[in-house]
Amino acid sequence: MSDLSYQNKNAFDVLSEAELNEVSEYCEGYKKFLDNGKTERMCVEYAVSLAEKEGFKPFEDGKKYKAGDKVYLSQKKHAAIFAVIGTESPEKGFNITAAHVDAPRLDLKPSPLYEDNGMAFFKTHYYGGIRKYQWVTRPLALCGVVCKKDGTSVKVNIGSDPGDPVFMITDLLPHLAKDQAQKPLATAFTGEGLNVLLGSKPDNNEEKDKIREYVLKALNQKYGIAEKDLFTAEITVVPADNARDVGFDRSLIAAYGHDDRVCAYPCFTALLKTKAPKKTCVCVFADKEEIGSVGVTGLRSDFMNNFLLALCDGYNSRIAFANSAAISSDVAAAFDPNYPEVFEKHNAACINCGPAICKYTGHGGKSGASDACPEFISKLLAIFDEANVLYQFTELGKVDQGGGGTVSQFIADRNIEVLDIGVAMLSMHAPCEVAAKTDIYMLDRLCKAFYEKY
Ligand code: MN
Ligand code: MN
């Protein structure tokens, strides 16, 4: 191959033995992050606890901050911003990373509990782009919070601990699935069919709905709640399994919610390691990306904007925003040899080839895309090369096969230049997704270079 030609490099051809040991060690921390963060609330809470240990303090709007100060803002406990104040004026711009910490799942309906034929169930309403068939016959956990009228709240977390019971959505036996098997995948499993089995034991002190009553008493004993408290609850059904290594070589991780905690974690850990940067460095954990970044905790809300404006106090915020740079860090689709037909092999991301850069997102004729400027990309690449960061360029699948968006467009709306960079993964949006450890480690290196050098 001549010097003019270019080929992606594989991390195993580039990283030293010592670096590969760092990869494994780094990913142990990531697996803990996943196991402790099966919902966006849990992710925010866990990350805040790690940040506080590193000296981060709750952000106070109106307070004057000095270089090296570390602050965090919790946006209604569903989203968060972590920042390290830089030595330079805000007008030089902010270095921002943004990843989302919500993931596809099943939420409980407001009135979820019912009994049918000797069993009790919860009705659910799915959240985000799930493939419904993947959620049946799989151990499930309940995670969330119940907020009571007296202002107190109770955390619900049952199913993920090895000693806990799990919950389950049943499926049809093949012997009786003749009609179902003829249906297209998209219609064979219905949203109203995703009902979670909760138990089968009656409470014989009651006259009727004895199994339902048993569940209510169990909920009351464990959490001190009654049925009406479920109206104000935010309880989600998530996979019970914790993160596991995959392969003889343990080079991959299978877990629920890689999308997009696999990017949020490196964006966050890189910030923790960034001491006294020149520019103020900001790491955003966004919520509601999976349903369009809407709502008060999604990135269409003003909370990130307001946080940055507060840091601009006394300076020209228009200049600050115009000089800011952002990495929208969200997962990319890795080439899957089981499904080569949906990928265009010249532009597909490969696992272990470093974080995947998407110049543009969107679908069809790039509809809904955030398309980064080449001047911006090349400036970033110079920094990544200097820091020995492995990266690759990609786009999401074949033209007109589908597509997707990220939070980048909502950052771009603020006149902040932004580029999409994330970990390439297999089985995206499945209850158990797969990502390569070297890619996760490499995103941490990339973010650190960006915070310190851009
Ligand atoms: Mn995502
Ligand atoms: Mn997603």
Which one of the ligands is nearest to 299 CA?
Answer: 1
Cα of 234 vs centre of ligand 1, distance in Å, is: 21
Integer Cα distance of 33 and 48 in angstroms = 12
Tens of pLDDT, residue by residue, the chain (454 residues): 888 999 999 999 999 999 999 999 999 999 999 999 999 999 999 999 999 999 999 999 999 999 999 999 999 999 999 999 999 999 999 999 999 999 999 999 999 999 999 999 999 999 999 999 999 999 999 999 999 888 999 999 999 999 999 999 999 999 999 999 999 999 999 999 999 999 999 999 999 999 999 999 999 999 999 999 999 999 999 999 999 999 999 999 999 999 999 999 999 999 999 988 999 999 999 999 999 999 999 999 999 999 999 999 899 999 999 999 999 999 999 999 999 999 999 999 999 999 999 999 888 888 888 899 999 999 999 999 999 999 999 988 888 887 788 999 999 999 999 999 999 999 999 999 999 999 999 999 999 999 999 9
The pTM of the whole model exceeds 0.75: yes
**How is residue 360 written in tokens?**
């543009």
Ligand nearest to the CA of 264: 1
Please tell me the distance from the alpha carbon of residue 21 to that of residue 18, in angstroms, as a whole number: 5
CA of 103 to the centre of ligand 2 (A): 7
Residues near ligand 2 ion, CB 5 Å cutoff: 259
Q: How remote is the CA of residue 427 from the centroid of ligand 2, in Å?
A: 11
- Cis peptide preceding 260, ω within 30 of 0: yes
Distance (Å) from CA 423 to ligand 1 centroid: 10
Provide the CATH topology of domain 14-103+256-453: Aminopeptidase (3.40.630)
Output the CA 332–ligand 2 centroid distance in Å: 9
Radius of gyration (Cα) for the chain, nearest Å? 23
- Torsion sign, CA atoms 234, 237, 241, 243: negative
Which residues lie below 8 Å from residue 152, measured CB to CB, with a gap of 6+? none
Domain coordinates of the chain in residue numbers?
Answer: 14-103+256-453, 106-239
Helix (H, G, I), strand (E, B) or coil at 391: coil
Which tokens is 269 given? Answer: 């850990």
Please list, residue by residue across 106-127, b when 16 or more beta carbons sit within 10 angstroms of its beta carbon and e when fewer do: bbbeeebbbbeeebbbbbbeeb
Q: Among the bound ligands, name the one nearest to the CA of residue 406.
A: 1
Gap from CA of 17 to ligand 1 centroid (Å): 31
Q: Where are the alpha helices (DSSP H) in 231-311?
A: 258-272, 303-311
User: Closest Cα to residue 301, out of 30, 100, 103, 451?
Assistant: 100
Scanning the structure block, which residue is given the tokens 């949006």?
Answer: 429
The two tokens of residue 341 are 């037909």
- Among 383, 352, 394, 396, smallest CA distance to 447 is for 383
User: Which residues make up the environment of ion ligand 1, defined by Cβ < 5 Å?
Assistant: 259-260, 330
Report how far ligand 1's centroid is from the alpha carbon of 330 (Å). Answer: 5
> Which CATH architecture describes the domain 106-239?
Roll (2.30)
Could you tell me how many residues make up the chain? 454
